[in-house]
Structures are given as structure tokens and as C-alpha cells.
Structure 1
């Protein structure tokens, strides 16, 4: 597995290690200085791939932990790729930091962050960037998602991983975002994780981090960052934000003008600005 590394300002890149409930080692690259901010990746990336763009705008204010769940980045692998195990990976990592942390994640990673916030007192606040909620999928959306998974599985079976990654991302990104992701090399870099993502999707369990009963257990402040153009790609994205907002007791929705669902990757400065504002406001109130 090819390991990605974050931008380095001349010093050695540090790592932080934790052990999940089933013994899997969970690793994050550490970058910057300040209060701890743990950054979780989405479905097809790793901590560095998904957050290196925003790190440049965050590392002068926060110690950024770019963590990767099992089977990603430098973390250990495990045959159990269920949703609950990924949430346990995040819980183990945030609790190993040793002090309350800010926690952020985009898309599917936002689900893991919300699940961790419902379980751990180590989470002081959460930024869920364009989160997904499978509870609001209707029949047509389920069929669309099923077809996308089937296409990805067929391409992966033929060892056409880059094509699989590209085809999968067309369901989430608009044309402009796809152009940026292609030119940046993101699609080629994350293609190695297609098999891992298929495992996650195929091992979906009864546990859901966005079940109302889970979301209602979150007591810390949550900001829901939503691209203003995400709805043009899939109405599911807007409905997911509405669902989370409805069930989390202390939630605020902030719209990122002009961004789509992949805004955290394509508009990293805009999302970083919102993260800085939210987490610093939280710190001032404590």
C-alpha cells in the first residue's frame, strides 16, 4: 500500500498511534501546533489525501492529527471493515490524544466523527462536512447507490482501480470538482483504497452513526458545513444535512458558497476558515 505524507515545512513529519478495540493500530500524521484537531477522511481516501490541502490553513492554529482508519495510510488492516469498527477506530484515536479534541470529517468520514462524538467524552466539538445519512435514502437513491457499487466492484475485479475510483467519484463530485480531483492526482492516489471501500460497503451492519438514537446522544456543539451546490449532484446530500441537524441538540448549519459535496477537497481554504471560526468560538466559550 502506498503511503501518503502531508506537506512538510522542513521538519520531520510526526505520527501519533492508537490501538482500536480489536487490536488494530490506528495511525495519524501530526502537523502544526496548537489545540488538537483530529481530521477523519472520507470513504475513498486517507487522512493525508483528504486533508493535506486544508492543513496549510489550519496548522498555525491547531495541532492537526490526520488520522487514517483501518486499512488506510499507515494504519493497520483488519478483515472487519464494519461501520462500527471504523467509529471505534476514531474513538480510540481521539481518546489517545490525552485532552479534549476538535473532530472533523467530510462525507462518510463525517458519519464516523458523529458516531465517535456520541460515544466519547474526549470529543469537545464536531465539524461534519457534507455528512451522509443513509436513513434518508429513498428507493431511487438506494438503486443509484447500488448501481455505483456494482460498477466499482466490476472494475476492481478487472484490476482497473483508477477507473473504479473515477467512476465512483462521479456520483459525488460535480464536473468542476472532478476536473480538480483529476488534475491534482487525487483519483490515482486513492485508487489503492477501492478494495477497502468495497469491504466497508459490503460489510454494512445494523449500526448507523446517523440513527436518530445515536445523534441524540451527542451533547457537544456540532457545525454542519454544506456546499451550496451539493444539492445539484444529489438531493440526498441536502437531506442528510437536514436529518443530522434535526436530531443533534446543539447543531448549526453553515453553507459554503459555491462548493459542491467535494468542497472540503476542492475548496480547502473556505472549509478551513469555517473550521477555525467554529473551533475557536467553542474554545472561547469553555
Structure 2
């Protein structure tokens, strides 16, 4: 990241931009940095000025306790101001929940696209989120970062064998290093349910996307977002999973943001 901007509370947020034109800011999800979504900037940068940033508490960005979702909205406000005063947002997974909250908060956002925000639309979803929150908080307070990462991977549906394999892989130390930010994404997700009142207040177009190979509840969550936002649209991407391919999602975003 070659640029810095200061959020309202003084926290330094690292970002970089490529391309020219209307601004699009990419918002990453849990256990990720700006580098995770950077490949998506490649197809978009042919048409837009694309901003990729490290959310607070991860990558090259700093952090200032105590955490609140409002601070991350202020981070986006600072990025939008630094980029020219207006932007479209594209949020991946829980980053989509943050992008939607930013739009609902009245930031100068012209459009929002989200990919598979994991809102619970199934029975027991809120209870599952509450149990996860309790166990995650306990693990982080006790400094058990590895256990916190395991909790998240189980919540995401990863098989136990794959989790143990990841724990013994070279990428595990990096995952543990940003484990405290799991609490931030958890806060962004609220009680885990679709925040219908907040979504209903969004006054800009919203595109909610899911992959056809993802679980059915992911599609229902995307449809719920599209139905609740006054200017919402739903779209399914053939053959895609939660790990969406940039070359597939990119053209869809170019079409939407180019309207």
C-alpha cells in the first residue's frame, strides 16, 4: 500500500489506487486484507479508479481501540474524501455488510455491490451467531488466536480435516496475526440476520450477487438484501462459490457501476 489517510479518530488507513474514472472502493471480508481483493481491481481498473485498502487492524493499516462499527464507516468516509468525494462500494462477504452500513449511514456513495454477505436466513441462524460471538470473545480475551481462527473457519463451513490442515500450513501464522479483527467483522454482521430496517433506508442502487455453486441460503440472503433495499437487484453467477473468480465477477461489476 503506497498511500495513507487518517480516519476521524486519527487511525492511519493504508490504501492504493489504480485506473482512472469514477471511484470504486473494494471492501474485504473476514480474515483478509486489501491484497485479498486486489485481483478484482484488475478488470475494474480498465474503467474506473479502483481503491483497495487494508481495513483497520490488519495489513498496513493501524488500529485505535475501542472498536466500533462506526469507526470503520469513518474509515470509508476518509477514503472517499481522499479519492475525490464520492465513490461506489463493492463489499465481499462480511465486507458487504460494512459497505451496506456505510450507504445506510449517508456517506456519499453512488452505488453498492455486495457478494455473498453471510446473513442468516435459516432457522437457528441468530442463535448460531450468538454462540459464535460468545466463544470468539472468550478466545480472543484469553489470547487464543488460533482457536479464534478455528471458530471462524467452522462457522464458514470448512471441514474439520481442512481446518487442521490449515493449522499446520505456512499461512497459519498470518491468519493468527489478524485474528483480533474477527471480532470486527462479527460486530459488522450484528446479530447475523438481515438488517432490514437499515437496508430499507439505503437510497442508492444495490446489487446483491451470489454464486450458483454456493449453498441455497447464500442465495436467499442475497435475494433478501435485494428485496429489502428500495433500489435492490439480485444476480446469480453460474458455477461460482464463495471464493468468486475475479474474471467472472469483474464484468458484472463493470456493467453495474457503469450505469
1:60 maps onto 2:38 in alignment? no
Deviations 1:58-104 (A, max 9, x none): 22222221122221222220112222322232233223322421210
**Alpha-carbon contact 1:83-1:208 (below 8 Å) kept:** no
Partner secondary structure for residue 89 of structure 1: helix
Summarize the alignment of residues 33-52 of structure 1 with structure 2, pairs less than 5 Å apart.
33-49=20-36, 51-52=37-38
Residue 220 of structure 2: aligned partner: 239
**Alpha-carbon contact 1:95-1:122 (below 8 Å) kept:** no
Gaps of 5+ in 1: 6-13
Give, in whole Å, the separation in 2 of the partners of 1:38 and 1:204. 18
**Alpha-carbon contact 2:27-2:91 (below 8 Å) kept:** yes
**Alpha-carbon contact 2:23-2:49 (below 8 Å) kept:** yes
Residue 124 of structure 1: aligned partner: 110
State which drifts further: 75-84 or 222-231. Answer: 75-84
**Alpha-carbon contact 1:33-1:62 (below 8 Å) kept:** yes
**Alpha-carbon contact 2:208-2:226 (below 8 Å) kept:** yes
Q: What TM-score results when the alignment is normalised by the length of structure 1?
A: 0.73
Q: What TM-score results when the alignment is normalised by the length of structure 2?
A: 0.80
Give, in whole Å, the separation in 2 of the partners of 1:185 and 1:91. 35
Summarize the alignment of residues 28-107 of structure 1 with structure 2, pairs less than 5 Å apart.
28-49=15-36, 51-107=37-93
**Alpha-carbon contact 1:81-1:200 (below 8 Å) kept:** no
Residue 268 of structure 1: aligned partner: 246
Cα separation, partners in 2 of 1:154 and 1:207, compared to 1, 3 Å: closer
Residue 277 of structure 1: aligned partner: 255
